[in-house]
Amino acid sequence: MSRWTSWWHELSAAAKFRLYTGATFQFALAVVIVVMAITVRSPWAATGVVLAGIAAVLAVEVRADFAVTSLLASRRWVQVVAVATLVGVWIACAVAAGLSGDATTDARMRLTGIYVVMLIVFSVVSLIEYKWWILLALSLVTGLAFGTSPATVLGGVLLTFVAGALVVATTLLTLWGIRMVDELEHAKVVEAELQVAEERLRFARDLHDVVGRGFSAIAVKSELATALSRSGASDRAAAEMDEVRSLAVESMGQMRELVRGYRGIDLTSEVAGARSLLAAVDCRLAVEGDPAAVPARFHEVAAWVVREGTTNIVEHSAATAATLALGAAGMSLRNNRPRGTPGQQSGLRGLAERLAAVGASLEVLSSPDRFGLEIRWEKS
């Protein structure tokens, strides 16, 4: 029992619904066959109904949409045999009704023939193309084959077409339900893939922001230590290398926190770190305003602005002065002496995504002698 329950639980929701629909469809077909066999009131006619019913079940089982098992799925020869059997039983009923001189036998054969036509519509016609035209042709042939007068021919045509139309409509609704469930399952898969892609982009952006500043600081301080060492200021060079080591350890810790997904960032610490990093490249940072003036829900993104903006100043300018302004309405970070414009790898696109996620906006101001980031906490 546990094997069967585990098999059921391993199926997707769409596969469960498809299996349930196929089983229900075939159960309904079996019930119809039993009722038909009882109502014809003749052993020979009942035998024909049962034979046609078995063929109808096989024809349905071949269809992937209604198959309960995969044993007969897509085996065309089974469908050919099933259709040939259904047509053969129908022809036998038409011949028997035409040759029999007994009115009771004729009526039973006509009823059996109409039943077989319904089984053909149920298991074959409703599942193929041009179903409505085929149903109309089948209704005309059935009326002509079993009718004994113009009135009975017309009645047989109308009865067959109306009953067949109900069967086709029911089958189409069932197929529509299966398609809808399949589309929902596909949408879930696509949504999951999009979430994975979005998370990868977020991780790449965070990795760039975290590692970018650390590596920039390490590169700058390493160059400074090299220059100091060559000039004979070994003590200052050693101090700079100690800071390089501290930055490397700090970057490693941030990397671990990033991987674990628990990384935090503090605005006040980022402002202090920006001042220290820019001072190492002979750039004076003037801070206007107080980090406490920034609305609490924007503190984290403001810290990312300071981090990314500072990294851009180091990598994309020869700045000697920069100004950081913090306020309740927004913030800005400007520097002089830009060197070209930051490209796609500067992280500004990721920064814009961060700001948009919290309802803020980013404007980049660029000129030959100035570069700045203007942020507004609420989009106008």
Q: Are 44 and 109 in contact (CB under 8 A)?
A: no
Q: Give me the CATH topology for the region 282-380.
A: Heat Shock Protein 90 (3.30.565)
Residue with tokens 């089958």: 171
Mean pLDDT computed over every residue of the chain: 81
State residue 331's pLDDT score: 95
Strand partners, 370: 336
Q: For residue 360, what pLDDT band results from cuts at 50, 70 and 90? A: very high
Give dist(CA 335, CA 370) in Å, integer: 6
203 pLDDT more than 90? no
366 pLDDT more than 90? no
350 pLDDT more than 60? yes
Least Cα distance to 212 among 316, 318, 319 occurs for 316
Q: For residue 41, what pLDDT band results from cuts at 50, 70 and 90? A: confident
106 pLDDT more than 90? no
Query: Phi/psi of residue 347, each to 5°?
Result: 90, 0
Q: Extract the tokens encoding 209.
A: 């922001």
Minimum mean pLDDT among 155-164, 195-204, 278-287: which range? 195-204
142 pLDDT more than 60? yes
| pLDDT (tens digit per residue) in 272-323 | 888 887 887 788 999 999 998 999 899 989 998 998 888 888 878 888 999 9
Give dist(CA 358, CA 373) in Å, integer: 17
Minimum mean pLDDT among 132-146, 165-179, 207-221, 309-323: which range? 207-221
State residue 74's pLDDT score: 58
Region 216-228: mean pLDDT is 81
Least Cα distance to 294 among 209, 364, 375, 373 occurs for 375
Region 8-21: mean pLDDT is 74
Residue spans of alpha helices (H) in the chain: 2-10, 13-39, 43-62, 76-99, 103-123, 131-146, 150-231, 234-260, 267-280, 299-316, 348-357
Mean pLDDT highest for which of 78-82, 117-121, 321-325? 321-325
Q: pTM score > 0.75 for this model?
A: no
Q: For residue 258, what pLDDT band results from cuts at 50, 70 and 90? A: low
Q: Extract the tokens encoding 35.
A: 């009722």
Give dist(CA 94, CA 26) in Å, integer: 27
Residue 309 CA to its chain's centroid (Å): 36
In the chain, where are the structural domains located?
Answer: 2-189, 282-380
Q: Are 216 and 314 in contact (CB under 8 A)?
A: yes
